[in-house]
Amino acid sequence: MQQHQLCILGSTGSIGESTLDIVRRHPERFTVISMSANSRVENMLAQCIEFKPQYVVMGCQETATKLSTLLVENGIANIDVSYGEQALCDIASSDQVDTVMAAIVGSSGLMPTLSAVKTGKRVLLANKESLVTSGQIFIDAVKASGAKLLPIDSEHNAIFQCLPEFEQHRPGECQLADNGISKILLTGSGGPFRTKPVSELADVTPEQAVAHPNWDMGKKISVDSATMMNKGLEFIEAKWLFNVEPSQIQVVLHPQSTIHSMVQYKDGSVIAQMGNPDMRTPIAHAMAYPERIDAGVEPLDFFNTKPFEFEAVDFERYPNLKLAIDACSQGQAACTALNAANEIAVEAFLNYQIKFTDIFRINELSVQQFVSQQVTTIDDVISLDANVRVYAKDQLAKLMESE
């Protein structure tokens, strides 16, 4: 049995909580050395009491001070509490940990995840935005350090499980054609608005958008699932993780979310990974890899499961997905710009500032504006990300004035 020393970036989120549930079930395998959260002090306090980490990083000085006070009040004196991005990078790269769960949402996860990659950790990658935003730079860092990348995103974890074992050991450098693989079939449920008339999409509320039919997730990724930007980000993520051309990835709508993705071989075989939609399955798979452990997930009951359905994607309903697939071929600037604009637009939608359909308008304008920029270094990524955010906020302000 392998034992792992864990750093959990984003422990209070949906993925973070599921990760801790796996730790709870297997205390002999996993020790939590460090955890981080942005603002949820009470949640973090409860996690500290239960998991007794040595280091905790919060989003700002105020939340760090609040947590420290609460820890003392609860008789806990031996946890080192700090805050901010450098502290996140420090816990992710510390010699005391061998495994980092990268589960911060958005491009705030980029630098801490890269720190873990550069120091050769086993990196359990939930934070797809960091790979979308830095692509080749991220993969080059994996190759240079020998970090072990294990996908947490259910689709990529499924694809990973359907690959020959040899290829599982070299994400970013896979040679799928050499293994007789012709295509990756990326499944997506289509989100809560798959059957809603397209003309009514402008009026959907944040509450409706975050109510995903199959998965229980954080708010940002839930809105991304409703626009299918999530599938777009995953399309780009798949290109980098499995070293494939966009033409070798096909999105397949599968409303039941039972098949989590598939790999098509040239002899006609299609290998699928399936299960009930519960993120603890891919999380447990990656945490214990190459061993298998109990994840607390009910096995599929084939006699009481809904019939499997499949559909082609309607890009009129999901224009953000088309934008992302195009960005994947256009290059890094388009992908970085799309991700940054989308974070701004989704936040504005969740704050009732813009309509659901305006997310696409902001995203499209931002990609057009920045598509031809050069992005070769991490500094290029960071400055482009910042510039896009300013531009997207300007466009938001204009939209809000005109509506």
Site for ligand NAD, rule CB under 6 A: 10-16, 36-38, 40, 59, 103-105, 108, 126-129, 153, 215, 217-218, 220-221, 279
Residues 106-165 that bind Mg ion (CB under 5 A): 153-155
Q: How many residues does the chain have?
A: 403
Considering the complex, state which of residue 104 and residue 286 has its C-beta at the smaller distance from ligand NAD.
Answer: 104
- Minimum CB separation of residue 272 from ligand NAD in Å reads 18
CA torsion through residues 354, 355, 356, 358, sign: negative
Task: Tell me the binding residues.
Answer: 12-15, 127-129, 153-155, 189, 212, 218, 225, 230-231, 234
| 3-state secondary structure (DSSP) of residue 326 | helix
Q: State the minimum distance, in angstroms, from the CB of residue 352 to ligand NAD.
A: 18
Instruction: Give backbone dihedrals phi and psi of 180, rounded to 5 degrees, phi first.
Output: 75, 20
The answer to the question of residue 358 lying near Mg ion (CB under 5 A) is no
Tell me the closest approach of the beta carbon of residue 306 to ligand NAD, in angstroms.
20
From the list ligand NAD, Mg ion, none, partner contacted by residue 128 (C-beta under 5 to 8 A by kind): ligand NAD
Closer to ligand NAD at the Cβ: 12 or 264?
12
Nearer to ligand NAD, 10 or 232 (CB): 10
- Known binding-site residues for Mn(2+) equal 153, 155, 234
Q: How far apart are CA 225 and CA 356, in angstroms?
A: 12
Least Å distance between CB 125 and ligand NAD? 9
- Residue placing its CB nearer to ligand NAD in the complex, 109 or 319: 109
| Shortest CB 226 distance to Mg ion, Å | 13
- Residue 129 or 358: which CB sits closer to ligand NAD? 129
Residue 67 contacts residue 11 (beta carbons within 8 Å): no
Closest chain position to ligand NAD (CB)? 13
From ligand NAD, Mg ion, none, which one binds at residue 232 (CB under 5 to 8 Å depending on kind)? none
What does the alpha-carbon distance between residue 157 and residue 334 come to, in Å, rounded to a whole number? 25
- Contact between residue 261 and residue 248 where contact means Cβ atoms under 8 Å apart: no
Binding partner of 127, given ligand NAD, Mg ion, none, CB within 5-8 angstroms per partner class: ligand NAD
Residue among 100 and 399 whose Cβ is closer to ligand NAD: 100
**Among 280, 213, 218, residue whose Cα is nearest residue 22:** 280
Q: Give the residue with the Cβ less far from ligand NAD, 37 or 367.
A: 37
Distance CA 231, CA 327 (A): 13
Distance CA 251, CA 187 (A): 6
Residue 206 touches which of Mg ion, ligand NAD, none (Cβ within 5-8 Å per kind): none
Q: Which two tokens stand for residue 347?
A: 């936040």
Closest approach, Cβ 103 to ligand NAD, in A, equals 5
Q: Which does 159 bind (CB under 5 to 8 A by kind): Mg ion, ligand NAD, none?
A: none
CA 346 – CA 219 distance, rounded (Å): 9
- Residue least distant from Mg ion (Cβ): 153
At its nearest, how many Å lie between ligand NAD and the CB of residue 111?
10
Q: Return d(Cα 287, Cα 290) in angstroms, integer.
A: 9
Interacting partner of 191 out of Mg ion, ligand NAD, none (Cβ under 5 to 8 A depending on kind): none
Three-state SS at 47? helix
Shortest spacing between CB 98 and ligand NAD, in angstroms: 21
Q: Which does 15 bind (CB under 5 to 8 A by kind): Mg ion, ligand NAD, none?
A: ligand NAD
The secondary structure of the chain in percent helix, strand, coil, rounded to multiples of 5, reads 50, 15, 35
What is the Cα–Cα distance from 92 to 72, expressed in whole angstroms?
25
Structure tokens at 210: 């975050």
Contacts of residue 129, Cβ cutoff 8 Å, sequence gap at least 6: 105, 106, 107, 109, 110, 233, 339, 343
DSSP state, residue 298: P
Contact 271, 263 (CB under 8 A): yes
126 binds, among Mg ion, ligand NAD, none (CB under 5 to 8 A by kind): ligand NAD
Alpha-carbon span 65 to 370, nearest angstrom? 40
**91 vs 215: CA distance, rounded Å:** 30
Closer to ligand NAD by Cβ: residue 224 or 364: 224
Positions touching Mg ion (CB under 5 A) are 153-155
